[in-house]
Amino acid sequence: MLKAPVIYNLMVLGIHNYYRYATAVSVDCQRIQFRISVIMYNRFRNVLKKQGRPGLKFVWEQYGKSKMLRWMFDVPICPIGYVQTRNPMYKKKKICRYTPEGREAIHKNLKFEKKRDNGTSYACRTNEQ
């Protein structure tokens, strides 16, 4: 498997995950996609294909519906212009680091339960040694 397309795909996936909640990121990503597609067409005209085998499952799930998806030596090249934005949903209003109730809710979320050998459970803080 080629190393450069895999690194490129991981970068694209990371950019899409990081900027998923940004409002106007799709316009910027489409500009980048246009520039990349021109370069890829000029450099890899003979090896770039519009159809290929599905490849990795996460690539096919996220980018399978895109018409910008290309294959190079049977490795899918993720389109950076096919960013799917989402709306940030439901942040609890009581979680606030400036009020005692909010800090308590934050610390409550940091706890997890451990099981003892006899089957009973106890709460443990994640940031304690």
Q: What is the pLDDT of residues 4-15, one digit of tens each?
A: 888 888 898 888
On whether residue 88 sits in a domain, the answer given is no
Query: So what's the pLDDT on residue 10?
Result: 87
How many CA atoms lie within 13 Å of 11's alpha carbon, on the beta-carbon side? 10
pLDDT reading at 96 higher than 80: no
Domain of 128 in residue numbering reads as 94-129
Total tally of structural domains belonging to the chain: 2
Q: What is the pLDDT of residues 35-90, one digit of tens each?
A: 999 998 898 888 888 887 777 777 778 888 888 888 888 888 888 888 888 777 77
On whether residue 87 sits in a domain, the answer given is no
One domain, residues 45 and 20: yes
pTM over 0.85: no
On whether residue 85 sits in a domain, the answer given is no
One domain, residues 112 and 70: no
On whether residue 29 sits in a domain, the answer given is yes
One domain, residues 62 and 10: yes
Query: So what's the pLDDT on residue 91?
Result: 67
Query: So what's the pLDDT on residue 34?
Result: 93
On whether residue 89 sits in a domain, the answer given is no
Q: What is the pLDDT of residues 100-113, one digit of tens each?
A: 888 888 777 776 65
One domain, residues 9 and 67: yes
One domain, residues 13 and 66: yes
One domain, residues 11 and 67: yes
On whether residue 107 sits in a domain, the answer given is yes
The beta-strand segments (E) located in 1-129 are 48-49, 70-72, 75-77, 111-115, 121-125
Dist CA 56 CA 48 (whole Å)? 18
Q: How confident is the model at residue 129 (pLDDT cuts 50, 70, 90)?
A: very low
Dist CA 57 CA 63 (whole Å)? 10
Burial 31-58, CB ≥16 within 10 A → b, else e: eebeebbeeeeeeeeeeeeeeeeebeee
Residue type, 124: C
